[in-house]
Structure 1
Amino acid sequence: MTEKYRKISNSPEETFNFGVLLGRFIEKGFLLLLLGDLGSGKTLLAKGIAEGAGYKNEVTSPTFSIIQEYNSGSKNIIHMDLYRLNTEEELIEIGFEEYLDKDNIVIIEWPELAFSLLPADFVFIEIKKLTDNKREIIIFGEGKQKEIIMERLNNNADIRN
């Protein structure tokens, strides 16, 4: 069975702050796939991840632009929202595969359409809405990235429930 890390967030601020911690744990080449219903907090978590990875300016939702790029100086962050795309051909047309460069940190909201184009090394972050403000954040995945993030999460006393 795949190892999973579970975190309860009791507020939007906690969700954002957990994202900041995750952002400190990730490295160039990480691929983070955000799962969750509309309004579950995917973009909020992505904003925290970008801040934790060193990006200090405003992070906006890529819902309409599909792709936003942020550079923190030492890390290039690609934030995608594939919700409005319908086919793999559309992904290929926007140059999706080129963004999966190992020098980038890639965060993808609504990644389901891209599954067949993704490498085997990634981290899923699922956000389940429990109440208006309370969320369960579940982290799992495949490959070395999952192992790295699990080790860092399990060894960090600041984020234990």
Structure 2
Amino acid sequence: MTSVKVYLDNEQDTVDLGKRLAAVISPPLMLNLSGELGAGKTTLSRGLIQALGHKGAVKSPTYALVEPYEFDGIDLYHFDLYRLSDPEELEFMGIRDYFTQRSICIVEWPDRGHGLLPQADISLQINYVGERREVEISSGSDKGSQLLSKLK
């Protein structure tokens, strides 16, 4: 699979990367976002979700675990698994029902759901590098590889 690195200087760059992703993705799709607290996972999600047409605020679904959004022909689910204490909790919430042919699933802290989440099409690892962020975007499927080639 392929990967690419992107460097972000500020919050607007992070939002813009979300917008660039929104321009190339389509369902079904699973997108994983990993990185330390405050690295920009929710900010990137906000850029993506608003670029798809959401007009309101995009909040982190830290307490609810999932925040749904509906667009024309797309069900987008934004997960934040940070507070998940046991991956089995995902079974109780019916996690598999979210992954459909119409869905785009954005998962923050995917490692917390290890073993119960499908393979991501695209994974983003956001790391602090001084004042900047380094984002390694990698594909986990053929579809992910195709999307990465469009993103470059």
Runs (4+) off by over 3 Å: none
User: What's the TM-score, normalizing by structure 2?
Assistant: 0.92
Q: Tell me, in whole angstroms, the C-alpha distance in 2 between the residues paired with 1:49 and 1:33.
A: 13
Q: Percent identity?
A: 30
Q: Tell me, in whole angstroms, the C-alpha distance in 1 between the residues paired with 2:151 and 2:75.
A: 23
Contact 1:80 1:107 (C-alpha < 8 Å) held by counterparts: yes
Q: 2:138 aligned to 137, 140, 145, which one? A: 140
Change (3 A) 1:121 1:129: closer
Contact 2:31 2:120 (C-alpha < 8 Å) held by counterparts: no
Change (3 A) 1:145 1:57: farther
Contact 1:70 1:78 (C-alpha < 8 Å) held by counterparts: yes
Contact 1:121 1:144 (C-alpha < 8 Å) held by counterparts: no
Aligned residues: 152
Is 2:37 aligned against 1:41?
Answer: no
1:21-78: CA deviation from partner (whole Å, max 9, x where unpaired): 1011110111000000000000000111112223232211101111100112332210
Q: Tell me, in whole angstroms, the C-alpha distance in 2 between the residues paired with 1:100 and 1:62.
A: 17
Q: Tell me, in whole angstroms, the C-alpha distance in 1 between the residues paired with 2:87 and 2:140.
A: 22
More strand by share: 2
Residue identity in the other structure for 1:149: L
Residue identity in the other structure for 1:150: L
SS in 2 for 1:152: helix
Is 2:78 aligned against 1:79?
Answer: yes
Q: RMSD across aligned C-alpha pairs, in angstroms?
A: 1.4
